[in-house]
Structure 1
Amino acid sequence: MINLTFAISHDDINEFAKDYHNRPEARVIENAVTKNGVKAASFNWHSIADNDPHFSIELHTGDVADQKQSGRCWLFAALNTMRHEMQQKFNLPDNFELSQSYQFFWDKFEKANYFYENVLKTADLDHDDRRVAWLMETPQGDGGQWDMLCALIDKYGVVPQSAMPESFNSNRSDGINDVLNNQLRHDAVILRQLAQNKASEAQINDTRKSMLNNVYRMLSYAFGEPVQNFDFEYRTKKDKKFHRDASLTPQTFFKKYVGWNLADYISIINAPTADKQYGKTYTIDMLGNVVGGRQVKHLNLSMDDFKQLAIKQLKAGESVWFGSDVIKYSETKQGIMALNTYDYSALFDTDLDMTKAQALDYGESMMDHAMVLTGVDLVDGKPTKWKVENSWGPKVGTKGYFVMSDAWMDKYCYQVVINQKYLSDEQRKQEAQEPIVLKPWDPMGTLA
């Protein structure tokens, strides 16, 4: 252990100031950055030409959706991949959407029960133990993972947005999140006390059921009670024919109109850190939503394999759910994600470079947003840029679509969801392995 103490002296500060004043460009840069901000002062306008929105492989996917002021990107992206196929198969209009609010309700309800489960599992630990502290930091939130959506659909099905439309709280979730997390922390105190006092299983289960009754009521007030039966009405895009399918349930709607075998779709990650071998599968302790539902599971592959699988799926006409660190070097108005979008290193005359593994290990980057790959530009068989369907509405990018450079994908993309039929035989064998359990705070456990 190195034991060094270094206090900044006034002589040090004078030396730093002298170096600053000896730089002829310093005053001009200071004026530009203080007036315009770091991003505007470092923006590289050449990135617009380098990332023009044209692609050799491009799927038609209709209008983009808008998650508004909520963290539901993972739900939007996943449901978008399903609606793309529905739009083609049933000639649905470009603005057709599946209900994100319906999934949002059940996700929060199930997350509450999953939280109670983990509270009881850790009840013998001190409240300041890192696992307990991690649980209490955010008992539930808006984010999620592909496997978590599959767990919801397996249990609750899906509905069109017309059957359960958006509400104020689904569009802006901060209010209900604050109150619900308050409730869950309050409930955690009671559950931990019951467990520590050796209460009977029946008493704990009755208490937990009462708590879930409260959560159901709170969520119904916030989002509206989830629909159980509905009629699906629509007019086809091309010939404008009207259709009505009466008395559907969310499960029968999913089976008839989506029809996917969700077990076919698996999570592929690229995590090049020393603790995660390629060709191995991983899960994350205490991460999920539905107790007894589908487990979060990732197969870690090289970036080349990661991209080739995505290309195979796009070539077959299927869009690709993916997770990335969207904030890094991303220009929202233009809809560009590229490493040359902002030149922070040149602006500040400093070295900011970190490998992907270093960025993950040291908290500089992690997955924070899910979107959909809907195209790719191939030159001599190699990808140069990708078309991305975002869920931030049509006023950003090209009517809501972004361009992602291939180099940006290498550095800041962490996850794609791929149909197993596109995997090699060896990759299928690897995916079938029992997953290695990672700690709750591992960066591969962050939620989009």
Structure 2
Amino acid sequence: MSENLQPLGKEQLAQMRESFDEHDAHRVAMNAVTGAGINEVARNYDKSRLLQRRFSVTVDNGDVTSQEHSGRCWLFSSLNVARFIAKKSMNLKEFEFSQNYAMYYDKLERINYFLQDVAELVRSGETSDSRLIQHLLNDVMGDGGQWTMAMNLYKKYGAVPKDLFPETASSRNTSEMNVHLRSLLHQAVAHMYENTGDIDAIVKTTLEAGHRVLTIHLGTPPTSFDWEWTDKDDNFHRDGEITPQEFWKKYVDAGLEDYVCLVDDPRSEHPKGHKIAIEHLGNVVGGDATEYLNVPVDFMKDMARRILSEESIPVWFGADCHPMMDRKNGAWATDLFEYGRVYDFDFDLDKEERVRYNDSAMNHAMAFVGVDVADDGTTTRRWRVENSWGCKIADKGYFTMEDSWFSEFVYEVAVPKSMLPAEYQEALKKPAIKLPAWDPMGALAR
């Protein structure tokens, strides 16, 4: 440790204690927070009671889903968009895709992606203690993902109704399964470095073991099934035997696979109107690369508004969900809690600084299903959000987001490529700015 570092001394500690005790407001805050918790004390009463929960445009998607104790929000939210389309196609009031099916193939594909990626790095001479290898080892086998990664799965494997491949104990709570898969892959990397001549055999053996682990935890996914349903008008339908790929193409024929991801990377060195990509980020080898088009946040809002208003389809998005969130009542607003007043301290980082200094990143994916638009027809005021945390919180699981919160904490939306203006269409054809694997824009929704 550097000799210039200063230890916390007794006099300094005594001075801070004395300063704390001198202010009655500090003691009142301590008494309140120790008993009730910071959010109950810091809640902005006026904002909480005056935040309207009505919207000029709504897209009804029925009962919310629940990812339970897993980080599958990106799969749930993308399938929530897809199920809205499927319900219209089949004239159903309620319908849900199997998120377990999607996770099974994501995990299997991600095992292969990781093994192939690391094998190439080992062969190229990347050392085991490099920042890249250590980052990949640390991040492997989490549940998180991105819109493009979800579309890679649906294009290759399709989707199935939930009752044909239901949840299991391990899909509801993925922690134990992930621990064993992570150890399996860590061991594979160790063996690669110890036996560089046997890398192909190590990859093959580990992939087969990963398949066994996944199947033991999640079950054997169907390759075809008989599909029958009764619609909301009480009419019976029989589709006969169908594959998951055929089911997706037939009932979710809305071009979701051709969507592009818009992001608001607020750092000044990353120009708007250019693609960015994260190295070593993906799930399906040979699938579409995880790339984003960096645009102003107001453009993202306008696209989301237009999709809801003109296309009447939910809009997938990713955000840093934790700041200024009232989970119980289902609300986000930039001044929903007055932490600074309670702590007697100003929190003054802007969006760019929060990203640059690791204070904020996209960590949760949801779907917009409503927006309130001002009388001018374009200015957005607040947003209705379909979450995947179950129906026992918020408005039966639906949240309300104030528009200013969108500006500060929403990072990504998925939109139809065809809706982009000509200059952005051209930008998509150009090479992406490559960012390292640990860049905050590579954060995964969980």
**TM-score bracket for this pair, using the shorter chain length:** over 0.9
C-alpha root-mean-square deviation of aligned residues, in Å? Answer: 1.5
Structure 2 equivalent of residue 286 of structure 1: 280
Out of 384, 389, 392, the position equivalent to 2:389 is 392
Structure 1 equivalent of residue 32 of structure 2: 32
Structure 1 equivalent of residue 12 of structure 2: 12
Task: List gaps (5 residues or longer) in structure 1.
Answer: none
Residue 58 (1) aligns with residue 39 (2): no
Matched-pair contact (CA < 8 Å) for 1:70–1:172 = yes
Q: Residue type matched to 1:428 in 2?
A: Q
Give distance in 1, aligned partners of 2:437 and 2:344: 37
Deviation at 1:136, TM superposition (A): 1.0
User: Which stretch shifts more, 181-190 or 45-54?
Assistant: 45-54
TM-score (norm 1): 0.95
Structure 2 equivalent of residue 75 of structure 1: 75
Give distance in 2, aligned partners of 1:330 and 1:285: 31
Deviation at 1:9, TM superposition (A): 3.2
Task: List gaps (5 residues or longer) in structure 2.
Answer: none
C-alpha distance after superposition, 1:91-120 (max 9, x if no partner): 1122x1011110100000011111112211
Structure 1 equivalent of residue 342 of structure 2: 347
Structure 1 equivalent of residue 103 of structure 2: 104
Taking the TM superposition and a 5 Å limit, the aligned residue runs for 1:360-371 are 360-371=355-366
Q: Residue type matched to 2:139 in 1?
A: T
Taking the TM superposition and a 5 Å limit, the aligned residue runs for 1:26-175 are 26-94=26-94, 96-123=95-122, 124-175=125-176
Give distance in 1, aligned partners of 2:297 and 2:3: 40
Q: Residue type matched to 1:389 in 2?
A: E
Structure 1 equivalent of residue 322 of structure 2: 327
Matched-pair contact (CA < 8 Å) for 1:120–1:192 = no
Deviation at 1:263, TM superposition (A): 4.3
Give distance in 1, aligned partners of 2:127 and 2:155: 36
Residue 435 (1) aligns with residue 436 (2): no
Matched-pair contact (CA < 8 Å) for 1:138–1:181 = no
Deviation at 1:233, TM superposition (A): 2.2
Q: SS of the residue aligned with 1:323?
A: strand
TM-score (norm 2): 0.95
C-alpha distance after superposition, 1:217-271 (max 9, x if no partner): 111110001110101222212x111222121001111111112334420000001
Give distance in 1, aligned partners of 2:422 and 2:210: 45
Matched-pair contact (CA < 8 Å) for 2:101–2:221 = yes
Matched-pair contact (CA < 8 Å) for 1:97–1:161 = yes
Residue 379 (1) aligns with residue 374 (2): yes
Deviation at 1:3, TM superposition (A): 9.3
Give distance in 1, aligned partners of 2:337 and 2:289: 38
Residue 305 (1) aligns with residue 306 (2): no
Q: SS of the residue aligned with 2:227?
A: strand
Number of aligned positions between the proteins: 439
Structure 2 equivalent of residue 208 of structure 1: 203
C-alpha distance after superposition, 1:37-86 (max 9, x if no partner): 21221112323333222100111111111111110000000011011122
Q: SS of the residue aligned with 2:195?
A: helix
Q: Residue type matched to 2:426 in 1?
A: K
Give distance in 2, aligned partners of 1:391 and 1:7: 46
Deviation at 1:141, TM superposition (A): 1.1
Q: Residue type matched to 1:8 in 2?
A: L
Matched-pair contact (CA < 8 Å) for 2:155–2:257 = no
C-alpha distance after superposition, 1:178-222 (max 9, x if no partner): 111011111111123333xxx2xxx53343222211111111110
Matched-pair contact (CA < 8 Å) for 1:76–1:100 = yes
